[in-house]
């Protein structure tokens, strides 16, 4: 097994508020890691450290190291554009751009000024849509707006547009929270398929989902990573009392 | 008793509503009646397409093509100037400016909107006009260009504030999504946010232009008022609005000239109405 993302004594403050406290964890390649914990414990914050999305928040300060492929992401000199190409993020609410389906998928190529030929672009669109199982549904309306899709299709499209730039890591922040149970199940199946090629980190409020889909699980509480282990161990024999309390439903 | 009061108030409000509609209809009918009278003597095509406007010659020649072209020229010029600057300014305020600068700019824009148009016209007359004359070596600085520049200042507040609003209401998730994919701030603005705000921005532009078309005093002071077909931005022009304002006082009531001015009013009305409806369509598309 290969460590893809390693955090070392990671601390983060929003102004005076200490949101991540000495987080040490190793996320493995080609596995799905779930981050669980009550609302406000810092799950999203941790995820957004990996692609430096917290940079856009005023008054943020980080300490420690986050190594992705042995490169320190927190290095002020890190190349954010290639970092964000390598690490795609799926948001809680599907956020396809107000462009056509086709343009959504080639967006990544366009912003990098890739002068790909029309045929290559078409190919990228097809493979990306195929890998999220949308090709058959959408192949005849690639030029229509991406905003007229169902929520599930939108979320798949958002995954597809990340896949189009061939990332290594997919960060998913509660990607199913707006979907119904059937759609959620289908997205989970998709995740299982995708993990062969990507490292997936998923934040979820839903413990059943973490148990169903993930290989490893980290439990966070008030900015601390309390426990990090294989999912089956976390759910069958949690080592920390607080983890046990949470998974048995004694916290909100 | 309570119920009765409610009843009275409701009816009063209804009455106000009806009254306003009634007056609008009345004005409209009056405009149509007086305006269409001119077509008894001049064919509508000759009126709209006629190349000379000599309303007091004998017989009067009532072709408003020079005036229409004058209005179009001044408006197009104002649009060319105000749209890029206005939209650029909106982008700057909505996305780029630090908080303080933003507040100052917004206050400045509001101030600009509050300057009465006569005052702007007057300022334009003593600044833009001599400047245009000197820079382009013209016999007179009272040109379409001068009018366009000044009208651009009038359209700008409308364009900036509505376009800024449109940009501001673009869901933050679009921008986040673009940034998370490695887009630069500018790419996120250009490729995603402007697209998302496009109908609002178009509405902003339309309303700005609507303001320009209807403007009278300032253009009258600054464009030279020559009712001839303009051949360039550097020539004096006269607009539809300025014509009505300048000539209504001297037109003999009931004369052909008088009716012709009302017909110009109809033309203006149709143009403004068209622009407002288009702007409305864009705004509604947004919701
Ligand atoms: N931009 C910010 N400025 C200040 N504080 C913030 C900011 N973003 C988050 N926080 C705080 O940091 C803490 C962690 O937030 P975070 O969004 O990471 O929690 P979360 O575990 O993802 O919660 P949820 O399950 O509700 O999504 C919360 O207490 C939150 O109030
Ligand atoms: Mg969260």
Mean pLDDT for chain A overall: 89
Do the domain assignments include residue A233?
yes
Question: Mean pLDDT of all residues in chain B?
Answer: 91
> Is the omega angle on the peptide bond into residue A74 within 30 degrees of 0, that is, cis?
no
Q: What is the pLDDT along chain B (287 residues), one digit of tens a residue?
A: 788 899 999 999 999 999 999 999 999 999 999 999 999 988 999 999 888 999 888 888 889 999 999 999 999 999 999 999 999 999 999 999 999 999 999 999 999 999 998 999 999 999 999 999 999 988 888 999 999 999 999 999 999 999 999 999 999 999 999 999 989 899 999 999 999 999 899 999 999 999 899 888 889 889 888 888 888 889 999 999 999 999 988 888 889 999 999 999 999 999 989 988 988 888 787 55
Q: How much is the average pLDDT of A28-42?
A: 92
User: How far is the C-alpha of B53 from the C-alpha of B56, rounded, in Å?
Assistant: 9
Percent of chain A with pLDDT over 70: 98
Q: How far is the CA of A14 from the centre of ligand 1 (A)?
A: 9
- Ligand 1 near A56 CB (within 6 A): no
Q: Which atom of ligand 1 is nearest to the CA of A17?
A: 5
- As a whole number of angstroms, the distance between CA B253 and CA B247 comes to 12
Output Rg (C-alpha) for chain B, integer angstroms.
23
Collapsing DSSP states into helix, strand and coil, what is residue B28? helix
Q: Which residues contact A58 (CB under 8 A, 6 or more apart)?
A: none
* Residues whose beta carbons lie less than 5 angstroms from ion ligand 2: A 44
- Does residue A102 carry a pLDDT above 60? yes
If pLDDT is split at 50, 70 and 90, which confidence band does A251 have?
low
Residues of A in contact with B181 (CB under 8 A): 84-85, 88, 107-108, 111, 161-162, 165
Cα–Cα nearest to B82, from B193, B202, B209, B186: B209
Whether the model clears a pTM of 0.90, i.e. scores above it, the answer is no
The helix or strand, by DSSP H or E, that contains position A23, with its residue range, turns out to be strand A17-28
Q: What whole-number distance in Å separates Cα of residue B175 and Cα of residue B162?
A: 20
Residue A240 inside a domain? The answer is yes
For ligand 1, pick from A13, A20, A39, A45 the residue to mutate: most ligand atoms within 8 Å of CB: A45
Whether the CB of A51 is below 8 Å from some CB of chain B: the reply is yes
Domain count of the fold of chain A: 1
At residue A252, the pLDDT reads 53
pLDDT tens by residue, A213-244: 999 999 999 999 999 999 988 888 888 888 88
What tens digit of pLDDT does each residue of A136-165 get?
888 899 888 889 899 989 998 999 999 898
Cβ contact A176:A189 at 8 Å: no
The percentage of chain B sitting over the pLDDT mark of 90, rounded to a whole number, equals: 67
Q: What is the pLDDT of residue A113?
A: 79
Whether the CB of B173 is below 8 Å from some CB of chain A: the reply is yes
Work out which ligand 1 atom sits closest to the CA atom of A203.
22
Q: Check pocket membership of A41 for ligand 1, CB cut-off 6 A.
A: yes
Q: Looking at residue A30, which CATH number applies to its domain? A: 3.40.50.300
E strand or H helix at A35: strand A32-36
Q: Is residue A50 part of a domain?
A: yes
- pLDDT of A78 > 90? The answer is no
Q: Is the residue at A88 inside a domain?
A: yes
Q: Which ligand is nearest to the CA of A46?
A: 1
Residue given tokens 């009392």 in the structure block: A241
Give the whole-number percent of chain A exceeding pLDDT 90.
48
Residues B194, B284, B81: CA angle, nearest 5 degrees? 45
Nearest to A219 by CA among A19, A25, A18, A15: A25
Q: Which residues of A touch B171 (CB under 8 A)?
A: 95
Residue of A nearest to B190 (CA): A111
pLDDT of residue B66: 93
**Ligand 1, atom 28, residue with closest C-alpha:** A40
Q: Which atom of ligand 1 is nearest to the CA of A15?
A: 4
- Mutate: best of A97, A99, A110, partner B, most B CBs <10 A: A97
- Give the residue among B41, B43, B63, B60 at the shortest CA–CA distance from B52: B63
Residue A2, SS3 per DSSP = coil
Structural domain including A72 reads 3-92+168-247
B103-161 pLDDT per residue, tens: 999 999 999 999 998 999 999 999 999 999 999 988 888 999 999 999 999 999 999 99
pLDDT at A120 over 80: yes
A222 contact partners, CB below 8 Å, separation of at least 6: A21, A41, A42
Is residue A156 one of the residues assigned to a domain? no
Cβ separation B191–A165 shorter than 8 A? no
- In chain B, what percentage of residues exceed pLDDT 70? 99
Helix axes B256-286 and B240-247, enclosed angle (nearest 10): 140
Looking at the domain assignment, is residue A159 inside a domain? no
Q: What is the mean pLDDT of residues A69-93?
A: 89
Confidence of residue A63 (pLDDT cuts 50, 70, 90): very high
| Whole-number Å distance between alpha carbons of A125 and B63 | 58
- Yes or no: say if A211 and A233 are a contact pair by the CB < 8 Å rule: no
Q: How confident is the model at residue A250 (pLDDT cuts 50, 70, 90)?
A: low
A20 touches A49 (CB < 8 A): yes
pLDDT tens-digit series, residues B260-281? 999 999 999 999 899 889 888 8
Q: Whose CA is nearest to atom 29 of ligand 1?
A: A40
Lowest-pLDDT range of A111-115, A170-174, A202-206: A111-115
Q: Is the CB of A172 under 6 A from ligand 1?
A: no
| Residue A25, helix vs strand vs coil | strand
pLDDT at B89: 95
Query: Please, which pLDDT band fits residue A179 given cuts at 50, 70 and 90?
Result: confident
Measured between beta carbons, the chain B residues lying within 8 angstroms of A158 are 177
Pocket test for ligand 1, best of A44, A55, A219 (most atoms within 8 A of CB): A44
Q: How far apart are CA A83 and CA A48, in angstroms?
A: 12
- Quick one: which of A101, A99, A97 has its CA closest to A128? A101
Report residue A12: phi and psi, to 5°. Answer: -140, 135
pLDDT of residue A247: 85
Question: Would you call B11 an interface residue with chain A, using a CB distance cutoff of 8 Å?
Answer: no
pLDDT beyond 90 at A245: no
């Amino acid at each position: 097994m290969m460590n893809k993302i390693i955090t070392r004594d990671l601390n983060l403050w929003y102004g005076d508020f200490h949101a991540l406290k000495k987080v040490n964890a190793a996320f493995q390649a080609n596995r799905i890691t779930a981050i669980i914990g009550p609302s406000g414990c810092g799950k999203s914050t941790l995820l957004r450290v990996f692609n430096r999305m917290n940079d856009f928040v005023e008054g943020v300060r980080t300490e420690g190291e986050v190594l992705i492929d042995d490169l320190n992401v927190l290095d002020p000199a890190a190349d954010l554009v290639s970092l964000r190409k390598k690490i795609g993020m799926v948001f809680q609410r599907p956020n396809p751009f107000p462009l056509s389906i086709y343009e959504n998928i080639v967006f990544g190529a366009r912003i990098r000024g890739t002068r790909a030929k029309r045929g290559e672009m078409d190919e990228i669109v097809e493979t990306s849509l195929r890998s999220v199982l949308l090709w058959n549904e959408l192949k005849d309306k690639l030029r229509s707006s991406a905003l007229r899709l169902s929520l599930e299709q939108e979320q798949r499209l958002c995954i597809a547009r990340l896949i189009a730039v061939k990332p290594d890591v997919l960060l998913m922040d509660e990607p199913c929270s707006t979907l119904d149970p059937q759609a959620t199940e289908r997205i989970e199946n998709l995740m299982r398929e995708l993990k062969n090629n990507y490292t997936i980190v998923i934040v979820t409020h839903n413990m059943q989902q973490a148990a169903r889909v993930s290989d490893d699980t980290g439990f966070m509480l008030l900015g601390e990573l309390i426990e990090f282990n294989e999912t089956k161990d976390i759910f069958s024999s949690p080592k920390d009392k607080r983890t046990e309390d949470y998974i048995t439903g004694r916290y909100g | 008793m309570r119920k009765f009061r409610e009843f009275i108030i409701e009816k009063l409000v209804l009455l106000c509503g009806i009254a306003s509609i009634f007056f609008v209809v009345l004005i409209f009918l009056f405009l149509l009646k007086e305006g269409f009278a001119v077509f008894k003597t001049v064919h509508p095509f000759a009126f709209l397409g006629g190349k000379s406007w000599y309303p007091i010659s004998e017989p009067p020649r009532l072709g408003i093509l020079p005036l229409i072209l004058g209005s179009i020229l001044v408006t197009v010029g104002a649009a060319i100037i105000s749209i890029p600057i206005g939209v650029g300014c909106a982008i700057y305020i909505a996305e780029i400016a630090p908080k303080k600068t933003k507040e100052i700019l917004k206050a400045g824009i509001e101030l600009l909107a509050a300057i009465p148009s006569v005052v702007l016209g007057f300022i334009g007359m003593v600044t833009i006009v001599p400047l245009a004359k000197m820079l382009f070596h013209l016999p007179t600085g009272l040109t379409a260009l001068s009018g366009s520049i000044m009208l651009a200042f009038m359209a700008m507040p409308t364009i900036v504030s509505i376009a800024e609003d449109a940009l501001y209401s673009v869901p933050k998730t679009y921008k986040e999504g673009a940034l998370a994919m490695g887009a630069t701030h500018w790419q996120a603005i250009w490729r995603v946010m402007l697209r998302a705000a496009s109908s609002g921005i178009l509405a902003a532009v339309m309303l700005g232009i609507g303001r320009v078309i209807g403007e009278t005093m300032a253009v009258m002071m600054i464009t030279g008022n020559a009712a001839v077909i303009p051949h360039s931005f550097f020539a004096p022009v006269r607009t539809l609005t300025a014509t009505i304002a300048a000539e209504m006082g001297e037109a003999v009531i009931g004369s052909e000239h008088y009716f012709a001015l009302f017909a110009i009013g109809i033309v203006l009305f149709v143009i403004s109405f068209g622009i407002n409806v288009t702007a409305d369509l864009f705004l509604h598309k947004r919701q």
